[in-house]
A and B are shown apart, each in its own frame.
Chain A
Amino acid sequence: MSQSNTQSSNAPVTPKTSSIVVPGRWQRFRESYLVYSFKRDWMAQACLLVFIAMVLGAFLAPWIAPADPYDLASIDIMNSELPPAWMAGGDPAFLLGTDAQGRDLLSTILYGTRVSLLIGFGAVILQALLGVTFGLLAGYLGGRIDAFLMRMADIQLSFSTLMVAIVVGAIIKATFGGAAFSDYALILLILIIGLAEWPQYARTVRASVLAEKNKEYVDAARVMGFRSRRIMFRHILPNTLSPIFVISTVQIANAIISEAALSFLGLGMPETQPSLGSLIKSGFDYLQSGSWWITLIPGGVLIVLVLVINLLGDWLRDVMNPRLYKG
């Protein structure tokens, strides 16, 4: 090096003596655009507040509900079809009235929301596990595996969730009897809704994997000799998380609605462990006779729950702005 310059590029660009403060995860999160835009969006704040209140109410139901609707001993059939407390004939012990079996409607709704949320989250976790795995494989490996998985997804989507539920429900009932079905209804519904809707995830993930896999950091990982599995899960997957988060909100709302629809048709939760859907159904027969509250109040709760989740999802999509694959 004959004409060496005054200083070498070997010297660190940063001063050695400086104390560099690297922000921790929490601080990064607090300074992120997500938090910034959340602080400026009253709609998102309100939605999150309502959602948290509902989730807390649902999961703390055993402690805060006035009665236990699963406890048959505490139910008095004489209390059936009492209107809400503020109406004529209402009983202050039953704030939102009672249903046809005499259960306290408020408690039933709290427990029912819990069932609905459990099924919603459970089904979405299952969908995400299946869909993300298949989407990653299809997008990264391409070729025949891609073609096969995506045709599977197409076939899966051409069956509606309802059809799958009816068939599976019928088979289980025929094989193990109705009682067994009621016992395992929660898990079965999670399985059915989870299996029916994984293609949504698979398609979204595949689309973003296709975009990511051509970026140079993936080439860099390949040049290092990393195996496909490591590249897929360690390098590509973390970069497809934002679209996964966004569709997860929509999918939770969808799963809750699917569950409600199945229960309403009598294919879902039994009336002994009511979800919001089966509550609506149980009250539906009494709608004509004037006992509107048994259907409309749980219906309203369902609508609010789904609405806040969807609004939160919309906000999240605006913030993260991923290229969504609309399947």
Chain B
Amino acid sequence: MSAAILKEAQSSSQASPRMDSAELGETLVEIRDLEKRFSLSGDFLEQLTFEKGRLRRKQEYVHAINGVTLDVKRGEALCVVGESGCGKSTVARTVMGLLKPSGGEVRFDGTRIDNMAPRDLLPYRRRMQMIFQNPYASLNPRMTIQQTLEEPLRFHQPTLKDGEVRDKIEEVMRSVGIDPDWGKRFAHEFSGGQRQRISIARALAVDPEFIVADEPISALDVSIQAQVLNLMMEAQEQRNLTYLFITHDLAVVEHFGTRVAVMYLGTLCELADTRSLFARPRHPYTQALMSAIPRLHDDKPNHIRLEGEVPTPVNLPSGCVFHGRCPHANQRCRTEIPRLIATDTGQVACHAVEEGRID
């Protein structure tokens, strides 16, 4: 169904050199009905409980992702936003194969990769890479920068000669703004921003097409955030990269994203191209999220206050997961799970929008 919707979504056009949603390429990564549960109950013996005099096996799960369907188009930067616990990082890690999905599938360039044997996955590993949130933990503290960058290259391209490896590393280091002469240093001798550059260099070293970035700038200082974002945008242009960009920062999304997917409690609320989403958020949750961005130039923030708090993902609410906090919820929202429906600019999962109760 998404293909049809996406055709509809291709409306606006803009004279920006970066990719716009109007010129979306073919699908590179497909996420279909992705589900991920984490067991809370431990092993078999710990699951046994006595209830009303009978021995029972009781299993509890954290429902981190509940049926997320997303397509990442070649050349775009798809941003996934949401608050902590909404499952956005789990999506990233499942796509990268760091977690096995409990249901659904992940396809890369047409091939299903989520159930592949590690050996068969190797060629895909080279094509998809990841940048992590914490620059202080994502580099091995016992390895020099040179070693950190060389290892993936030698592993994936064992035929490369020493000189070629060195040239390649030098090129990547320069492209992220790290002097190659610093290669013999260890990660702890660099500042947070530089470490994040090195992380990016490590991902770029194997010439990937697709990069998953899990909150890559949220641990950095403001002035450094701009540097890293610029670097990522430059790399995208030069290397024709596709990004799946996970963040909680809507200001960054507005700047960086081609399209935006908003997640709440493991489900996709809304998916639209960035400009339309910011111009006209449809889902009530998206609206609340947008109103909460601290802006520099308005004194009186007109922020939509949400009732209550995010429910736990252990016992999911019935119906729409957002109904408990939604100002527009009615009986249908409490019982029936909304499906993603096409709007003129994207997709939204909300009964109220579907029924025309809110616009």
Contacts and interface: CB of A to CB of B under 8 A. Distances in A.
Q: Touch between A and B in complex, CB under 8 Å?
A: yes
Interface string B105-148: 00000000000001001100110011011100111111100000
A174 interface: no
Interface string A208-222: 000000011101111
A22 B184 contact: yes
A224 B125 contact: yes
11 contacts: A9-B234, A10-B174, A11-B177, A13-B178, A13-B179, A15-B179, A224-B151, A225-B121, A225-B122, A225-B126, A234-B151
A226 B178 CA distance: 25
Nearest to B121: A225
Contacts of A219: 93, 98, 130, 132, 138
Interface of A is mostly: loop
A72 interface: no
A221 B152 CA distance: 8
Given A9-B177, A22-B184, 12 more contacts: A12-B178, A13-B177, A20-B179, A20-B182, A217-B141, A219-B138, A223-B97, A223-B125, A226-B151, A238-B140, A238-B142, A239-B141
A235 B141 CA distance: 9
Q: State which size class the interface on B falls in.
A: 35 or more
A12 B17 contact: no
Interface string A224-235: 111100000011
Contacts of B126: 225
B61 interface: no
Interface in B14-59: 16-17
B137 A216 contact: yes
A32 to B, nearest CB: 12
Contact of B155 (A222, A225, A235): A225
B137 A224 contact: no
A167 interface: no
Contacts of B7: none
Given A217-B138, A225-B156, A12 B179 contact: yes
A10 B177 contact: yes
A223 B152 CA distance: 10
Contact of A22 (B129, B142, B185): B185
Contacts of A215: 137-138
Interface string B262-284: 00000000000000000000000
A6 interface: no
Interface string B188-212: 0000001000010010001000000
A14 B179 contact: yes
Contacts of A326: none
Given A1-B17, A223-B98, A235 B140 contact: yes
A228 B16 CA distance: 44
A226 B237 CA distance: 29
Interface in A37-74: none
B227 interface: yes
A8 B116 CA distance: 41
A14 B182 contact: yes
Interface string B327-354: 0000000000000000000000000000
Interface of A: 1-2, 8-16, 18, 20, 22, 215-217, 219-227, 234-235, 238-239, 241
Interface of B: 16-17, 93, 96-98, 118, 121-122, 125-126, 129-130, 132-134, 137-143, 151-152, 155-156, 174-175, 177-179, 181-182, 184-185, 194, 199, 202, 206, 227, 230-231, 234, 237
Contact of A223 (B130, B151, B175): B130
Contacts of B231: 9
B237 A1 contact: yes
Nearest to A143: B43
A239 B177 contact: no
A220 B179 contact: no
Contacts of B230: 9
Given A1-B237, A219-B98, A223-B125, A12 B174 contact: yes
A10 B118 CA distance: 35
Contacts of B137: 215-217
B184 to A, nearest CB: 4
Contact of B181 (A14, A216, A224): A14
Given A9-B227, A220-B130, A220-B202, A20 B138 contact: no
B118 A216 contact: no
Contacts of B96: 223
Contacts of B142: 238-239, 241
A216 to B, nearest CB: 4
Contacts of A16: 179
Contacts of A18: 179, 181
Contact of A13 (B132, B139, B185, B194): B194
Contacts of A226: 151, 155
Nearest to A15: B179
B8 to A, nearest CB: 28
A2 B227 CA distance: 17
A238 B144 CA distance: 13
- Greatest chain A CB density within 10 A among B139, B179, B231 is at B179
Contacts of B155: 224-226
Contact of A220 (B138, B174, B175): B138
A241 to B, nearest CB: 8
Contacts of A238: 140, 142-143
